[in-house]
Structure 1
């Protein structure tokens, strides 16, 4: 039994870790709720949240925050996962900048560190920086790679594609002054600062007609901000003030259109709300969502099969969306 356990521990430690350090074993915990923005402050080393149903389709971007040692995954401009990480230790700092995924190898082994396993490797630079499953002691301890919990790395590997964008920002060791990530992605699929538009005092709603009417639609309903934000193909396309009553906690639903044209918002059993799977969102509850008429018209003309709605208490305000980001150019 001891021999089997030792082998499992060694297999769970990557080339950037010391196999003899108990704290370097990969995390396998998962939080029980999907309030990603709020969960960020409470995650312990090895913990993560994964709820890809929040946005079932669209471009995927990854934001790694060296300051907070957290990685947030966005799809269609909406957060679907957040995880603790371990990045480069002093002298081997993980470079900041905008990177593309250059190589994917689920069973990769290091050519530099004694053939050590690097499960679910997603290469960011040809000189050895990558995302992969690795040790998570609670502080930066790698030789430059970004270590992820094993299962989180596996899930991420399955939804990313070659050329996908990974942004690394912050600086390890700096005080954390704000939570990393948020409900809305602060970056677009090219790694640039995303364009989020706070409503002015006299605006009830707005719609960006420059965003093409093509691609998956995600609707975020913030009960805290009393705002509704619409995302399409990773871009914010609309935002409105709303009166939102009667919703508690977080819920995710997707639209199904029956043969007679009737709309059915079916709840999805995401982590912490598994019992909701397969139930239909109460029409009476939807009637309590009051929107400006012009915005409702724009939305009704565009929603269709597969549209996803996230009802959340997390904010979509300026403090967690649309903040300015300074990025250093990545090395070739």
Structure 2
């Protein structure tokens, strides 16, 4: 009887959205504005710590935590003269993690607010996000 009650309680917790449920993120991007880096965790393993460029002076990269919303492999900016944004993983409105052709600026603030990566790293993150599913991708931005 005790075993049945325990099982019922565990199922109830899982169905109620308890953090131990299967919906926990399997791909996490931790972005540090202060160090201009993104540490990527895939299934609890650190798979990379990459230089990024976030918002330059006068622009903002919002801090917080979001699930990925949509993907665009060959995206062009509708706001900034069709600027290339390869391997875009959008997470907060028009904000995305994406590749850049301005790789010499990685490691310092240079963007209009997005999180820029080297195109090779952006391709890795994009493909993992596609494989894991958007509901399993979390982007965290901290000061």
User: Do both proteins adopt the same fold according to a TM-score greater than 0.5, normalized to the shorter chain?
Assistant: yes
Q: Does 1:59 align with 2:26?
A: yes
Map 1:1-332 → 2, pairs under 5 A? 59-126=26-93, 128-134=94-100, 135-136=102-103, 137=105, 138-160=107-129, 161-163=133-135, 164-170=137-143
Name the structure with the higher strand share: 2
Please list every run of 5 or more consecutive structure 2 residues that lacks an aligned counterpart in the other structure. 1-24
Say what the alpha-carbon RMSD is for the aligned residues: 1.3
For 2:122, what is the secondary structure of its paired residue?
Answer: helix
Structure 1 partner of 2:19: none
Provide Cα deviations, 1:126-170, integer angstroms capped at 9, x if missing partner. Answer: 1x2110001241310100000000100001111113131110001
Quote the Cα distance in structure 1 between the aligned partners of 2:97 and 2:139: 9
Q: Report the structure number with the largest CA radius of gyration.
A: 1
Q: CA deviation at 1:114?
A: 1.4
For 2:108, what is the secondary structure of its paired residue?
Answer: coil
Aligned pairs, number: 112
Q: CA deviation at 1:106?
A: 0.5
What is the TM-score when the length of structure 1 is the normalising length?
A: 0.33
Quote the Cα distance in structure 1 between the aligned partners of 2:69 and 2:43: 21
For 1:124, what is the secondary structure of its paired residue?
Answer: strand
Q: CA deviation at 1:69?
A: 0.5
Please list every run of 5 or more consecutive structure 1 residues that lacks an aligned counterpart in the other structure. 1-57, 171-332
What is the TM-score when the length of structure 2 is the normalising length?
A: 0.74
Quote the Cα distance in structure 2 between the aligned partners of 1:121 and 1:162: 12
Provide Cα deviations, 1:98-148, integer angstroms capped at 9, x if missing partner. Answer: 01111101011111111221100011111x211000124131010000000
Quote the Cα distance in structure 1 between the aligned partners of 2:60 and 2:29: 18
For 1:118, what is the secondary structure of its paired residue?
Answer: strand
Where has structure 1 moved over 4 Å in runs of 4 or more? none
Quote the Cα distance in structure 2 between the aligned partners of 1:139 and 1:73: 18
